[in-house]
């Protein structure tokens, strides 16, 4: 009974759990360090780049939205949540990104209704027109910490050692060694030398 239930639960799991997937099962543009742990291997029809550094754990759901999208994760980093990449997301070394976090490097749709009015019909045909969608790379620098349920939007750079409080919506750059929080996120304070 337990075996049958476990087998059923595992068959419902939407991703493959892997320590280091055999090369024949991984997109040839993916470059994972030998000791990296990637729990959800993205299945994408696009030609994309995805690299993961040594001693890093990626438990995030990764959605590549189009050809040429790149995701780079540094060493000794933990990534959870959902990363949505149409352009570029770069995450440095020694970074912690908590559960429920969303990092997205684009607007998803045009802000003009006339330019997005056919988006759903296009999706039904397996198409997406990116010409009117604003996107900009996201960078999360070394030693940053992103709290749970935070949202990091397009074009944001979280500086070295920056901390984003839980539940924050980050629309502007976070200075190095500062704490931000709120919606929209605002600087709370700068970390002292003894806190770095």
For residues 170 and 153, the answer to whether their CB atoms sit within 8 Å is yes
Task: Please state, in angstroms and as integers, the Cα–Cα distance from residue 136 to each residue in 35, 127, 130, following that order.
Answer: 31, 21, 13
d(CA 17, CA 57): 12
Is-catalytic flag, 109?
yes
Rounded to an integer, what distance in angstroms lies between the CA atom of residue 165 and that of residue 72? Answer: 23
Output the six-digit token pair for 62.
């990764």
Active-site annotation holder among 25, 82, 106, 109: 109
Could you tell me how far CA 8 lies from the centroid of its own chain? 29
Beta strands in 123-177 (DSSP E): 138-140, 145-146, 151-152, 157-158, 163-164, 169-170
Indicate which residues carry an active-site annotation: 109
């Amino acid at each position: 009974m337990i075996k049958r239930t476990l087998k059923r639960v595992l068959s419902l799991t939407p991703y493959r759990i892997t320590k280091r997937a055999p090369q024949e099962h991984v997109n040839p543009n993916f470059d994972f360090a030998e000791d990296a742990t990637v729990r959800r291997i993205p299945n994408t029809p696009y030609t994309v780049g995805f690299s993961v550094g040594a001693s890093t754990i990626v438990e995030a759901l990764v959605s590549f939205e189009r050809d040429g999208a790149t995701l780079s994760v540094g060493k000794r980093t933990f990534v959870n949540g959902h990363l949505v990449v149409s352009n570029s997301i770069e995450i440095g070394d020694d970074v912690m990104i908590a559960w429920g976090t969303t990092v997205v490097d684009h607007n998803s749709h045009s802000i003009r209704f006339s330019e997005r009015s056919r988006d759903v019909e296009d999706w039904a045909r397996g198409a997406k027109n990116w010409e009117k969608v604003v996107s900009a790379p996201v960078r999360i620098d070394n030693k940053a910490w992103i709290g749970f349920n935070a949202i990091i939007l397009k074009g944001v750079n979280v500086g070295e050692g920056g901390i984003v409080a839980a539940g924050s919506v980050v629309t502007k750059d976070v200075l190095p060694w500062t704490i931000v929080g709120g919606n929209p996120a605002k600087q709370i304070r700068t970390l002292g030398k003894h806190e770095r």
